[in-house]
Structure 1
């Protein structure tokens, strides 16, 4: 996104001193900060989370942990932030209270699609000791059902054919690591900040396998010498709207081409394995631990699972945001049953955390009217998200002879969502790496709920045998799907809650 705004009217280093007193800004000299991190994936979440934690570390006096931000595909975010010297505004919203903070942790921004040589050169520098990632689940080029590299993925096959000009996440990381190895530079640590279960394990699996396919020695080097800690990240960050830009411009007295919006809450739990060092993120409130798994399980299932359930049901009902969904007379009751019956019993003990209390806090966060988190935005990439968020806990309940109650309703709503419209004239697009295949199935069986359910349950990349082969789960899903298609959302939820 190019922006014709004159430099005099644009956020940038030269204008920091002119900001109103109420606007927080970097309390350190950015000219004295050097990069220590390359971050891959410049979406809103990374800038509302990683950028803020790291900004706090720099404010405490560290000078060697600035971030070089890299977007892998679209140049839009780079075009927006480059003229601003990497600065952007965090708009923190809660119940009508807006607070502005300019973040200075990103020292430079680049686009891998057009600046590949510069990106690889940056990643190969000895001072870069950590590479962080937020590219969403589909960016890992993996098979969600197994966690392994999808060796037939078009970008993977292209990168293996031309490994020094990579386009995929694993290809980019492996080429940067090869350059470091050949130059005698120790490998950086690779830290995933995406909503994947055991994201460090998955990142290691896809990167090490790609390296092995490229060169056996390189594969051993990556598998044996590179650290891939896991982390759990939590902050609700809706997509930035023009109205948000207007709010920020009014508060700054300057234009910011791409601010980020977030709730006040934030949490980061990190497995503490960084052989070449890391920022003191714990000084900014992060939790460093030996085992992230309980925290990530709680968050993926309780927060993200509830979000997915709200998203698919809400899109079917024409409800645009999570806060509006939580104002519905029926949907909050469905989410409470999801937590109580299907999710909380599957969450392992979490140090220092009452999981039931965590879900009550989530309910309050979901109701925040200042956060316009679009249900259609949350609905994206369901083929990647349903498994870790909802099908995994459902499988655990099935294994102990406790049939999940709400997950079949969520799956039915997702199946109906794939039809990309309803009888009331509403229409939407399915954003998913498997969209072409899934929507084709939905078109073929759009008027036959049983056939539609059977065809989708046969997609093994999404549904493991323990789910697809469980007769009660399939029966409940099909019944809910038929009700959603024949009777609509309100009647379906009423029958579900009060039967």
Structure 2
């Protein structure tokens, strides 16, 4: 079997190097690099990517052995049907080993056609490293590496403002572009790079905040043999992802002229404020994940797909999203409904086995950030409690009992949370009064919630009643009952 490279595959286009990318991992290759490939194939971007590895160098060397080529499998729901397709991504031109070829990195800074920087160095990657120095080859931190690169470019082009870059980090932290810029300016001060460089950073470069959304399981270990047979070549960098993707970039509209995703029909938006889109994702996608997990698992289900396809739990999830979460959000109703339907399609993706237990990690703090804001805003707007969000909170307390029937649940959370629930469930004597004491203790744990939830009118009573239903009748009967409440109102 031939190895994938530009000698074994004919007709591979070459493009000018317009993008510096920090990160060689699955996500960027299935997200940003794929979008650039789509634009190149539509003759809209005419640019390639140079990749550097934030830590180490071995993957970049292996990627170079394939001349930057790799195959992307898109697997998931498309137009309401499960679709599996693949495409050869040709947008990466080369990788640079910063430990052996640092001079090539500095030469790239002198490339007048370079225009963009993308990164995905994990949430911990955008951080200041005190020990970094300008003369290091390379610096340890990603922002340190980028600062050195920008300073070399600043010098090479004699402070020319037209040679600034558009910098779009994709790390999953809020205000990622602003945070990266802050740290670069911190290095500029620590390294005494001068006021003119600081002014060039501010005036010539555009730092964008971004929000990325695509599930990328990565290298398809389970199916790589059949994929290799199908492809007819050996590809060590095959990556699998879902069909869905969404890229929201907070930045000036003129960037679209240079990064014309809209002309390629890509779901990439340039907005003045991405906060509503972040809230939409956290509340609908992540919020539904967290709310469904204890209900679905205690019902006897194992995966997200099983849950959303289940006649009872599927209805619970859909009503939770459309009746209780969406009414608390401020984007246009059609846009929210479209996103929610996409989320449900993503949940039922037959190509991704997403286990409920794998998303149960730190569920209490997740409920605080993902679901509690919807619950409180629903009360604020509707003047009543949202039944399914409250029921999911009761189910969460039941889940943290650590039992599904006779089976132990392997709880994973902060030690203080686990101790709280262990102590409370240890006092349970089977009575509703005992359940109320557990509920009040949990709702009163301000360290987690940021407030005493016992102060929310009617919440303790409602959670106690739901918890009593779960404990006495079981999750199957309790979940069916909460669905009927909608009709009874």
Give structure 2 stretches of 5+ with no counterpart: 190-194, 426-437
Answer whether contact 2:17 2:114 (CA < 8 A) is retained.
Answer: yes
Give structure 1 stretches of 5+ with no counterpart: 1-7, 18-26, 142-154
Matched, 1:284 2:264: yes
Residue in 2 that maps onto 1:203: 176
Q: Which has the higher contact order (CA 8 A, sep 6+)?
A: 1
Match among 327, 348, 352 for residue 330 of structure 2: 348
Partners of 1:71 and 1:484 lie apart in 2 by 50
Answer whether contact 2:36 2:45 (CA < 8 A) is retained.
Answer: no
Shift, 1:110, TM fit: 5.6
Give the 5 Å matches for 1:122-161.
Answer: 124-126=109-111, 127-135=113-121, 138-139=123-124, 156=128, 159-161=129-131
Q: Judging changes above 3 Å, is the alpha-carbon distance between structure 1 residues 235 and 63 closer, same or farther for their aligned structure 2 residues?
A: closer
Residue in 2 that maps onto 1:453: 442
Shift, 1:58, TM fit: 1.3
Shift, 1:249, TM fit: 1.0
Matched, 1:371 2:357: no
Residue in 1 that maps onto 2:232: 253
Match among 479, 483, 487 for residue 493 of structure 1: 479
Larger radius of gyration: 2
Matched, 1:393 2:379: no
Matched, 1:191 2:168: yes
Partners of 1:76 and 1:482 lie apart in 2 by 56
Partners of 1:399 and 1:424 lie apart in 2 by 40
Partners of 1:407 and 1:37 lie apart in 2 by 44
Answer whether contact 1:13 1:84 (CA < 8 A) is retained.
Answer: yes
Query: Secondary structure of the equivalent of 1:68?
Result: strand
Q: Judging changes above 3 Å, is the alpha-carbon distance between structure 1 residues 370 and 225 closer, same or farther for their aligned structure 2 residues?
A: same
Give the 5 Å matches for 1:404-443.
Answer: 404-408=386-390, 424-425=406-407, 430=412, 438-443=414-419
Partners of 1:90 and 1:161 lie apart in 2 by 38
Shift, 1:251, TM fit: 1.1
Q: Judging changes above 3 Å, is the alpha-carbon distance between structure 1 residues 42 and 328 closer, same or farther for their aligned structure 2 residues?
A: farther
Shift, 1:248, TM fit: 1.6
Shift, 1:458, TM fit: 0.5
Answer whether contact 1:67 1:105 (CA < 8 A) is retained.
Answer: yes
Shift, 1:349, TM fit: 3.1
Residue in 2 that maps onto 1:150: none
State the Cα RMSD in Å: 4.4
Partners of 1:297 and 1:315 lie apart in 2 by 26
Partners of 1:60 and 1:334 lie apart in 2 by 42
Query: Secondary structure of the equivalent of 2:72?
Result: strand
Match among 3, 6, 9 for residue 2 of structure 2: 9
Q: How many pairs were matched up?
A: 450
Answer whether contact 1:236 1:263 (CA < 8 A) is retained.
Answer: yes
Query: Secondary structure of the equivalent of 1:92?
Result: strand
Partners of 2:71 and 2:386 lie apart in 1 by 42
Shift, 1:344, TM fit: 0.9
Q: Judging changes above 3 Å, is the alpha-carbon distance between structure 1 residues 162 and 439 closer, same or farther for their aligned structure 2 residues?
A: same
Q: Judging changes above 3 Å, is the alpha-carbon distance between structure 1 residues 481 and 244 closer, same or farther for their aligned structure 2 residues?
A: farther
Match among 37, 46, 50 for residue 55 of structure 1: 37
Partners of 1:357 and 1:425 lie apart in 2 by 39
TM-score (norm 2): 0.73
Partners of 1:53 and 1:62 lie apart in 2 by 11
Partners of 1:81 and 1:274 lie apart in 2 by 34
Partners of 1:384 and 1:255 lie apart in 2 by 43
Any idea what the Cα deviations from partners look like across 1:55-102, whole Å, max 9, x if unmatched?
011113357521233443476754663432222222223456432211
Partners of 2:303 and 2:316 lie apart in 1 by 16
